[in-house]
Amino acid sequence: MGKVRVRFAPSPTGYLHVGGARTALYNYLFAKQNQGTFVLRIEDTDLARSTEESINGVLEGMEFLGLTWDEGPYFQSKRLEYYKEAADKLLAAGRAYRCYCTPEELDQMRKAALERKEDPVYDGRCRHLTEEQRAELEAQGRTSVLRFKADNEGETSFDDLIKGQITFDNKQIDDFVIWKSDGMPTYNFGVVVDDALMEITHVIRGDDHVSNTPKQIQLYHALGYPVPKFAHVPMILGEDRTRLSKRHGATSVTQFRDEGYLPEAMNNYLALLGWSYDDSQTLFSMDELIEKFSLERVSHNPAVFDIQKLQWMNGVYIRDMDIDQLYIRVLAQWQKAGFLSENPSEEEAVKAKAVLKELQSRVKLLNELDEAAYYFFQDEVRYNQAVVEKILFKPGVADILSHLLNELLQLKEFTEENLEPIFKATIEKFDCKLGNIMQPVRVAVTGTNVSPSIYPVLTLVGRARTCQRLRDAVEMIKANEKGE
């Protein structure tokens, strides 16, 4: 095998969706594994859809996932001269011709064919137009497109690296358009010219291109280009088993990034969506994926995107991360939330890391870290009213909290070791269970009944804030008693 060259060729739709991301990933892995070249090419021949903004969406997604390309990005809109040259070649060789049919006429022809229960393929009526007829049509002001004179006899087949041999009857292939009246090449034409000129050896792309492949192969032949190998990756579906789209919720990589997913988890999950190694292994680093990925083991059938599993995997990566790493990842968002200053002091960093250590096994997304951590860094506590009523507004709670408050104020050092005996003593004094003390304290200090272990929570919140919150809670309870 010569030097491997693969490409990812998205059309700019405003964002990189997970299906595209997975295709990009597979291309990337295949390139790296074979010391090949990974080319990025933007297929922006649809003038209406291609904007700079939507191109950035794609690039951002790629960068987030760390799928760095070795060449490009190339833009088809800037390569018109190459397509023109190839089209002229076809025209000169008699393998292409001008067609003057209007979209409306074509539409009618299709409908008529369908009614006659025939295949809705173009009938090639403009194939044999004479010079005079052409001149006349042009005099009428008709615009024209360029059609490829397809081979309608025999079969076209190729050996797909994932699906195996696939054969098409050439009767299905009509004289398709290669050049649009707006002056742009069509997709099928652009890909072929570019893949050939860029010397792409392996075309790894979505399943939805299978039926385009025979057309493209005919084009390769007509143009005298060598035909690359093809590998068609099955689609990703939503829960309802239809093609994954926006209405299934988050599908864009940047959106996942904004929701707190890690690129490592995304890559790992996406790699496994349609590919498996030996099935006892589910966690793969990028290096392992590069080493172990293979097209042969890519599944033949479409896969349903399972957000739950992605979420679980993200949690695994968060848990496995060392605290310094986690701190770096969360720094910006915590600064934005006001938990950390612009240039955090050593003291701030130490505290933040200690908080992260407590929270690490309790979140699945980076974003959850904001809500889970705010009470360590801010004075105000957001009380969950239902929980307050259930746990704080119970007889005797005010006494316990008041007692605890006094004890805590007298403590020499506000440490976990010193906290424990106080709680133990309080159990005895009030003759109750640990839970009867812990839970009210938890609610008073965190505003809710769910938090990390109480001793670390208290020490990290600090004596001042802890005591203040205990006082506030006692008052809240008393106010409630009066009100009733």
Partner RNA sequence: GCCCCCAUCGUCUAGAGGCCUAGGACACCGCCCUUUCACGGCGAAGGCACCGGUUCGAAUCCGGUUGGGGGUACCA
Q: Which stretch binds RNA (CB under 7 A): 54-62, 241-249, 347-355, 476-484?
A: 241-249
Peptide bond into 73 cis (omega under 30): yes
- Contact flag: residue 300 with RNA (CB under 7 A): yes
CB of 346 to RNA, least distance (A): 27
- Contact flag: residue 451 with RNA (CB under 7 A): yes
Decide if 76 contacts 43 (C-beta within 8 A): yes
- Contact flag: residue 309 with RNA (CB under 7 A): yes
* Binding-site member from 194, 195, 207, 264 for RNA (CB under 7 A): 207
Instruction: Pick out residues in 243-262 that bind RNA (CB under 7 A).
Output: 243
* Beta carbons within 10 angstroms of residue 315's beta carbon: 19
Give the separation between CA 35 and CA 395, rounded to whole angstroms: 71
In the residue annotation, 246 being an active-site residue is answered as yes
| Closest alpha carbon to 212 in 183, 232, 236 | 232
Nearer to RNA, 349 or 362 (CB): 362
Instruction: Pick out residues in 24-43 that bind RNA (CB under 7 A).
Output: 43
Decide if 458 contacts 445 (C-beta within 8 A): yes
Nearer to RNA, 356 or 454 (CB): 454
Residue 59: strand, helix, or coil: helix
The residue written with tokens 């088993």 in the block is 241
Instruction: Pick out residues in 131-150 that bind RNA (CB under 7 A).
Output: 143, 145
Q: What is the total count of residues that contact RNA (CB under 7 A)?
A: 86
CB of 438 to RNA, least distance (A): 3
- Contact flag: residue 45 with RNA (CB under 7 A): yes
Give the separation between CA 269 and CA 384, rounded to whole angstroms: 35
Number of residues assigned to the chain: 484
- Contact flag: residue 237 with RNA (CB under 7 A): yes
In this structure, what is the dihedral angle of CA atoms 357, 362, 363, 364, given to the nearest 10 degrees? 110
- Contact flag: residue 297 with RNA (CB under 7 A): yes
CB of 292 to RNA, least distance (A): 13
Instruction: Pick out residues in 93-112 that bind RNA (CB under 7 A).
Output: 101-103, 106, 110
What's the burial of 215, exposed, middle or buried (CB within 10 Å: 0-12/13-18/19+)? buried
- Contact flag: residue 450 with RNA (CB under 7 A): yes
Instruction: Pick out residues in 47-76 that bind RNA (CB under 7 A).
Output: 49
Task: Convert residues 171-200 into a mask of x (bound to RNA by CB under 7 A) and - (unbound).
Answer: -x---xx--xxx-x-xxx-x----------
* Binding-site member from 22, 32, 79, 442 for RNA (CB under 7 A): 442
> Given 3, 111, 171, 246, which residue is catalytic?
246
Nearer to RNA, 78 or 309 (CB): 309
- Contact flag: residue 321 with RNA (CB under 7 A): no
Give the separation between CA 216 and CA 188, rounded to whole angstroms: 6
b/e string for 35-74 if b means 16 or more Cβ within 10 A?
ebbbbbbbbbbbeeebeeebbebbbbbbbbbebebeebbb
| Closest alpha carbon to 421 in 402, 406, 407, 441 | 407
Instruction: Pick out residues in 388-427 that bind RNA (CB under 7 A).
Output: none
Instruction: Pick out residues in 325-364 that bind RNA (CB under 7 A).
Output: 361-362
Nearer to RNA, 309 or 336 (CB): 309
CB of 107 to RNA, least distance (A): 8
Find the helix or strand (DSSP H, E) in which 469 lies: helix 463-483
Residues annotated as catalytic are 246
